[in-house]
Structure 1
Amino acid sequence: MSASAATLAAAATKGFSSSRAQRVFVASGTPEGIRSFDWNPVSGELTAAGVAANVSTVDWICFSPDRKYLFAACEVDSFNGKPTGKVASFRVLDGKLEQLSAQNSASKGTCHCAIDHTGRVLLAADYGGGSAGSFRVTDGKLSPLVWSEHYTVHGPNPDRQEAAHAHFASFSPDNRFAYINDLGGDMIHIYTFDTETAVLKSAGAYHSAPGAGPRTLHFHPNGHTAYCMNEMASSVDVLKWDKANGSLTRVTTVNLLPPNAPLLNPKDAPQGNTGCDTVISKDGRFVYFANRGTDFLYSFKADPSTGALTPMERTGTGGKTPRNFTLDPTEHWMLVANQNSSNLAVFPRDLATGKLANEGKTVACPTPMCILFA
């Protein structure tokens, strides 16, 4: 570890007197789909604690608002004899997972799920089938699918946008609107929803630049700014969110790539570039974006009132192909799930400046897809 990294590591541990471990769950694109780790916030150490749940090919996991239940999106092509993906739920008890239910999604390739702020509505996005679906949640158990939509619009890129590809589900800060990012259709579908029935109704759409491939959507804590990560363009649309009608309006677009970086070549993707995910600090002062191909995290200062971004620096991800990354609960550490190098990387973070260390620690984890602190 370099001197600068050591300095940040020392700052990260300052003020902590306890080394009490915290459980971390990691979604894995393997037959043993959810792994357990113990996290030490003082040293930034992750220690493998075994398989938490044998549920195949988990792309994403999320907690209920009370953190009693965990939900998983499984990117499989068939479940229960039907050509769909799978959504499963688990009870969280003493750092362990007990499966409660599993249901068919709307179509194959389920890659993401999100639960609303009441904990009664779960959404799932199906990349392979280009669809989204909703489920009622009762005491952690999922109902069968109650609403679904199969998208038909597709963008100009014949290799990546030959069809719709739903990639991400989210809810507005006030829980009045739901959003589905459609990478294949270059749009974000906007809905109202009923927390009792889990049924969604269309409320419009946001359209990205053609061929941009909107992948994820994250809301800034200021309550009126959102960031849409465009996978194919390796760019971020900074959006104004209108709480009156749920609409999204582009304010500006930020390019993540360094000069002369190659764009995605579908026939040679590892040497191309694709945007991935977004992390926002709790105080709204810093925003981080991940890029794959040229693997890096890009740190930005954010104006807490407007959400406007000022670039800081690009740093490495500690591996290949960052699929997801997150701050630990103290926000003194950034953890990265590097899908293609099968490792988790941990970087010290300066709380005051938002700066990430250039070097960090790594621990093996097979095909990590999503990191979740219990």
Structure 2
Amino acid sequence: MRIVSRRDFVMSASAAALAAAATKSFSAPHMRRVFVASGTPTGILSFDWNPFRGELAAAGVAANVSTVDWICFSPDRKFLFAACEVDSFNGKPTGELASFRVVGGKLEQISGQNSASKGTCHCAIDHTGSVLIAADYGGGSVASFKVTDGKLSPLVWSEHYTVHGPNPDRQEAAHAHFASFSPDNRFAYVNDLGGDMIHIYTFSPETATLKNAGAYKSEPGAGPRTLHFHPNGTTAYSMNEMTSSVDVLKWNQADGSLTRVDTVHLLPPNAPLPDPKDAPQGNTGCDTVIAKDGRFAYFANRGTDFLYSFKADRATGALSPMERTGTGGKTPRNFTLDPSERWMLVADQNSSNLAVFARDPATGKLANEGKTVACPTPMCILFT
């Protein structure tokens, strides 16, 4: 691995390197395959992960699908699903949902279906592996699909949202951004950044249909982007993109409702805005990672580009701030812990690199500096 910058990254040279790297061995017992969604025509990329050294090595193109914003596994990890933010698919003005069989660290496509509208940015599968939900940012819509042996049915159900928030630049319309399922698999959730709400549904694993069960409303102009459930089974964190804050929510198992307990701000008061040339989106919250034992939580901010580490109360989910760490690049679109939780990997979208930071599982602390490896427009990181 070597230190790289966006300025040094050349797409043609990178493509050649990725193709050559495809011949690298995946048989080494200490190696683990990592898939990375790329927001380019390249699609889904492969990397080999060395958990002892905390190093990534490019291993070629895993799947030739264009403009992949998000990838997720089926519960048994035999299938991978991708949300593709293409302008049209099958002659219709929508994004694409694609599914793949995972074979020996490689991907074999088995289906592709139209989403409900444009701007397909996220997908999530329920805990039984039977229902996939996709969120369309541009079209402000959500759609569901039945999954059978990894194959996606045509769209089963959809809804187009109409409520929008007070910010005329970012909330001129609804913007569905993220889908998730409750710990007991009885409820589905869709974060609507444009409408300042999280839509709540019941759903049928047999038919993949959804039914409205209420909504959580954030503060006006907050822009709820993502929702992650704490391992305690009663707490959820909603990342607000536009205010770079986190709503700490209590999850009600009886009816699926969400109640705000606290709001934690990632930026100090009157924080200066970055240069628009470097960060056109401004200072915005992005994603969330929670340690498996529930003792630590991490939140990403874009603009000044940092990860904010917190101690988390395992019983209540209450957050206590620790420290901020740079992301090793620009615009952390997604980040994740490796399976050992000794390393944090960051997908820096606008600097076209992946960054790796050492982590102490006992204290939750991240190293101040990490290693980087080139990766064109990384959007989502997934360990096999």
TM-score of the aligned structures, taking structure 2 as reference length? 0.91
Specify the SS of the correspondent of 1:123.
strand
Structure 2, gaps ≥5 residues long: 1-27
Q: For residues 62 and 250 of structure 2, what CA distance do their matches in structure 1 show?
A: 39
Q: For residues 339 and 147 of structure 1, what CA distance do their matches in structure 2 show?
A: 31
Say whether 1:159 aligns with 2:169.
Answer: yes
Structure-1 residue corresponding to 2:368: 358
Runs of 4+ in 1 over 4 A off after TM superposition: 263-269
Say whether 1:224 aligns with 2:234.
Answer: yes
1:56 pairs, out of 41, 63, 66, with 66
Aligned residues of 2:273 and 2:303 also touching (Cα < 8 A): no
Specify the SS of the correspondent of 2:107.
strand
Q: Deviation per CA, 1:60-107, whole angstroms, max 9, x where unpaired?
A: 000000000000000112111111110000000000000000000010
| Structure 1 residue 135: Cα displacement | 0.2
Q: For residues 263 and 283 of structure 1, what CA distance do their matches in structure 2 show?
A: 35
| Counterpart AA for 2:181 | F
| Counterpart AA for 2:314 | P
Say whether 1:30 aligns with 2:40.
Answer: yes
Q: For residues 356 and 88 of structure 2, what CA distance do their matches in structure 1 show?
A: 35
CA RMSD of aligned residues (A): 1.4
Say whether 1:192 aligns with 2:217.
Answer: no
1:236-255 to 2 correspondences below 5 Å: 236-255=246-265
Q: Deviation per CA, 1:227-286, whole angstroms, max 9, x where unpaired?
A: 000000000000000000000000010000134323699898537201000000000000
Structure-1 residue corresponding to 2:267: 257
Distance change >3 Å, CA 306–CA 292, structure 1 → 2: same
Q: Deviation per CA, 1:151-189, whole angstroms, max 9, x where unpaired?
A: 000000000000000000000000000000000000000
Aligned residues of 2:291 and 2:341 also touching (Cα < 8 A): yes
Q: For residues 269 and 24 of structure 1, what CA distance do their matches in structure 2 show?
A: 28
Distance change >3 Å, CA 293–CA 159, structure 1 → 2: same
Distance change >3 Å, CA 190–CA 266, structure 1 → 2: farther
Q: For residues 152 and 183 of structure 1, what CA distance do their matches in structure 2 show?
A: 12
Say whether 1:67 aligns with 2:74.
Answer: no
Structure-2 residue corresponding to 1:308: 318
| Counterpart AA for 2:324 | R
Structure 1, gaps ≥5 residues long: 1-17
Say whether 1:279 aligns with 2:289.
Answer: yes
Structure-1 residue corresponding to 2:24: none
Q: Deviation per CA, 1:280-317, whole angstroms, max 9, x where unpaired?
A: 00000000000000100000000000000000000000
Identical-pair percentage:
86
Q: Deviation per CA, 1:32-81, whole angstroms, max 9, x where unpaired?
A: 11000000000001000000001000000000000000000001121111
Q: Deviation per CA, 1:171-213, whole angstroms, max 9, x where unpaired?
A: 0000000000000000000000000000000000000000000
Distance change >3 Å, CA 264–CA 185, structure 1 → 2: farther
Structure-1 residue corresponding to 2:126: 116
| Structure 1 residue 20: Cα displacement | 1.0
Structure-2 residue corresponding to 1:92: 102
Q: For residues 272 and 109 of structure 1, what CA distance do their matches in structure 2 show?
A: 20
Specify the SS of the correspondent of 2:280.
helix
1:294-305 to 2 correspondences below 5 Å: 294-305=304-315
Aligned residues of 1:59 and 1:112 also touching (Cα < 8 A): yes
Q: For residues 363 and 273 of structure 2, what CA distance do their matches in structure 1 show?
A: 31
| Counterpart AA for 2:158 | S
Alignment length (residue pairs): 357
Which 10-residue stretch deviates more, 77-86 or 318-327? 77-86
Aligned residues of 1:29 and 1:58 also touching (Cα < 8 A): yes
